[in-house]
Amino acid sequence: MTATDIYRQPLSLIDLSLLKALTRLSADALATLEKVETLNVDGFSEPEVRTFVIDPIIKVLGYDKETDFSVDLGKRIQFLNKKRFPDYKFNLWREDFWVMEAKKPSKGKSFGYKALAQAAEYAHHPKINAALVVLCDGRKIEVFDVEESVIDPALHVDIKHLRRDFEKLRHFLEPWQVWFFQKRRIVRLIDKVFDKEFNLGRLEEFRRLIDHRVVAKRSLVLENFRRNVTPDFDQRKEQLEKAPTADLIEAYLFLENPHPMANALTRTLVTRSASGTFLILSRMLPDVPRDVNDAYFAQVVKYLVELGQTRTSTEWLPAWLTTGNQNKADLEAATKRLIRHCLSHFSEHEAWKSILLAANAFRRIFKIMMLGNEAQWHMGALRHMLHRYLEDERSWSQLTSSPEGHVLGMIDGGALRATHQFVAQCYPPQELYRPEGPFKTEVARRRLNELWNLEVALLGNIGNYPKLRAERNLGEMRMTEASGITFDYLGHMTLCYLPQYPKWIEYVTTEHRSPVEELARLGSFRARELLGIDQRENMPRVPDAELANRFFYGDIAILKALRDGYAERSSSRI
């Protein structure tokens, strides 16, 4: 595949891994190109072409001295006893990758043999070894891929149409485009050699050689990574702190944030609560149930605890969290009440409990669908490749991207959308989130039973789900298959966010010791830690009747069917 063909033909995922998307040019860059485009170059000398035409274009392309993408001007190279001085040698990380020669303006529509031969000679110097050769005379630019053709340029751009055609020029000459061109060049050379190979043994030997060489580069790549990339926590924290309050509640609270991000989230919400808590709390904890998940409530607890560090009351709290007046509500009492709900999986509040059970069921179902459906699994790989293509090459998200990570993102997104719809269907039409709209708890139960039966059927269709999960390992830290069946993720997460608040740790271990002990029996390592129980110690198994009451409204048959469907074949436990 040639440098031009790769932008014209249908792409496979492998092709996409060898390309990089362009970013939008700034207004200043476009103004620079407009100035170059309108120059009258009649009578320009070669140095004037370099100064007033080529140099501004180079800046816009992204090259500058003393950067990773630099340019050498008139640096000597030598052939036998002859010294040569290319006008421009462009390098990435101090390695030369392409050359450019300036010429006086000419009336010809294209460059002649002499101009190309001179530049091609420079390109073939072993210290340069470039395939891309560029010529410019102030009126036109021609790009040659000299490994493909020295007759027709791969690209011709008239300076008078520079802005119109600059995207084409960028696709060849921007630093990251050159970097990926070199990778395609390697593939092209493999095709040239092995399209004529007739010995399968030689093919296998070469494959092992390439594998060995690439693996041997691992330590060097890691060193380059440490030198070129820094984790994006500060950037993500800055984005979070600047995000609208609605986004903090409707997006960030639903995510299982690591402690630094969770701390930044709660601090930001508390800061914005300084001028009043009503707008935040009425959205976060409305009087009638809304869509939530385990992470949401655990982080709401953290927010209330943090808010209580600076105030004792709030302008408003929902009736289900207060025992008295909703205005000037006692914040500490409300926090204690929410903690009690979270540690018992909302056993005293059927509507919220139903929504949390639905959120867990949807996540389990979407994971089954993602692992068991080839089209969905392929979509994760496609999203990964698109992320590689579109994101900044040195960004943390691009570097840490993986097909498995995108599958997890699709599971999260699907579960959130489905939970929102579940809640909407449990209200009268047009009454969603209105105080006068009663949540239909019996409808919620019926729909939950449908979800659980669908989940059982999906597991049955797959057959050996544990084996499939192991073979398509997503590297997931969350216990998705156990959450809402034999493991209380809500109670566990709530305890995980409390250790930095000694007062509240003492409160839960004294006033709610029994629920914490039950969480420990359900497998929460944080509960064990708070109770001083060795993580390796065997604890009494929670009876099926208790599990069914906690997660399935007493339906032991559904509990057993799901537990058996997710369990390893050699064991009845998840």
pLDDT tens per residue across span 329-353: 899 999 999 999 999 999 999 999 9
Same domain, 410 and 559: yes
Same domain, 106 and 59: yes
Evaluate whether residue 98 is within a structural domain.
yes
Same domain, 532 and 545: no
d(CA 264, CA 245): 13
Evaluate whether residue 275 is within a structural domain.
yes
Evaluate whether residue 83 is within a structural domain.
yes
Cα three-residue angle 543-504-255, rounded to 5 degrees: 70
Check residue 430 and give its pLDDT: 59
**Burial of 170 (C-beta count, 10 Å sphere; 0-12/13-18/19+):** middle
Evaluate whether residue 492 is within a structural domain.
no
Q: What CATH number is attached to the domain comprising 25?
A: 3.90.1570.30
Element at 91 (helix H, strand E): strand 88-92
Same domain, 168 and 49: yes
Evaluate whether residue 64 is within a structural domain.
yes
pTM of the model: 0.78
Evaluate whether residue 62 is within a structural domain.
yes
Instruction: Output the average pLDDT for the chain.
Output: 90
Q: Which residues contact 324 (CB under 8 A, 6 or more apart)?
A: 330
Query: Quick one: average pLDDT of 461-468?
Result: 92
Query: Quick one: average pLDDT of 504-526?
Result: 95
Same domain, 56 and 181: yes
- The answer to whether residues 353 and 347 touch, using CB atoms and an 8 Å cutoff, is yes
Same domain, 20 and 123: yes
Same domain, 14 and 99: yes
d(CA 202, CA 221): 28
Same domain, 125 and 248: no
- State which residues form the domain around 172: 5-186
Same domain, 378 and 526: no
SS3 at position 223: helix
Check residue 219 and give its pLDDT: 77
Q: Which residues contact 559 (CB under 8 A, 6 or more apart)?
A: 485, 544, 547, 548, 551, 552
* 52, two tokens: 């007033």
Same domain, 110 and 254: no
Evaluate whether residue 425 is within a structural domain.
yes
| Number of domains present in the structure of the chain | 5
Per-residue model confidence as pLDDT tens digits over 266-314: 999 999 999 899 999 999 999 999 999 999 999 999 999 999 999 998 9
Same domain, 144 and 59: yes
